[in-house]
Amino acid sequence: MTSTSFSPGLSENRLRIADSAPGFMPLDEAHALHDTAATLLSKPDSVGIGVEIGTYCGKSTVFLGAAAEPVDALIVTVDHHRGSEEHQPGWEYHDTELVDPHSGLLDTAARFRQTMFDAELESTVLGLLAPSTAAARVWGREVDFVFIDGGHSMEAAQNDYDGWARWVRPGGALLIHDVFPDPADGGRPPYEIYCQARASGRFVEASAHGSLRVLTRIA
């Protein structure tokens, strides 16, 4: 695996660690995520904070942390670590190795911490263990970007958009993963909140990378 990105934080070792972490983001989209975050966090008007909604085991978080570290920025990644609907028993993406034997429930928190430890990003990435709705209630400041990659039910996606898009600073960006205009390619909720963002008059599409959409806040 070879890095094509410009950040000194995205080392071959971190690429290897991200590759080994359970997760679902294609490498080309992960690189686009990294480069977008690095650009936003290095701007003169940056506030030095980016937010990720939906951590899972930290695969995409490695790319965000690698973008933040060289400019002494922070990444806050929000997840209840019990998994989304598709991660539960009987569903396609259920991973029995991530089930906590004490509770009998999915628990990805320890695997996320392992990823951050191995990637040496524990001082750059702050893991917020909470549902995004609860975390949004106590959040209170603008950020350079919000990356939404949480639950893919309509309720979960809508809650993530309603709770977090408003914190993107003017000139910052809202990033949404798994946006599929064709229903045959994937679930609709991320596409629906992408359409809401564009229709709001606050965001305009800046770029698209596979299923990743980058929307700049203009108002």
* Model pLDDT for residues 128-146, shown as the tens digit of each residue: 999 999 999 999 999 999 9
**Which residues are catalytic, by number?**
152
Q: In angstroms, rounded to a whole number, what is the distance separating the alpha carbons of residues 83 and 141?
A: 27
* Model pLDDT for residues 167-178, shown as the tens digit of each residue: 999 999 999 999
Tokens encoding 46: 């940056």
CB 211 within 8 A of CB 169: no
* Model pLDDT for residues 185-212, shown as the tens digit of each residue: 888 999 999 999 999 999 999 999 999 9
Question: What dihedral do alpha carbons 145, 146, 149, 151 form, nearest 10°?
Answer: 180
Model pTM above 0.95: no
Question: Around 94, how many Cα atoms within 13 Å sit in the side-chain half-sphere?
Answer: 12
Tokens 């299923």: give the residue: 211
Tokens 């309720």: give the residue: 155
What pLDDT score was predicted for residue 1? 34
Which of 32, 58, 59, 57 is closest to 145 using CA atoms? Answer: 32
Task: Please report the sign of the dihedral spanned by the C-alpha atoms of residue 138, residue 140, residue 143, residue 147.
Answer: positive
CATH code of 20-217, in short, is 3.40.50.150
Question: Around 13, how many Cα atoms within 13 Å sit in the side-chain half-sphere?
Answer: 9
- Tell me which of 2 and 70 has the higher pLDDT: 70
What are the residue boundaries of the structural domains of the chain, listed by start?
Answer: 20-217
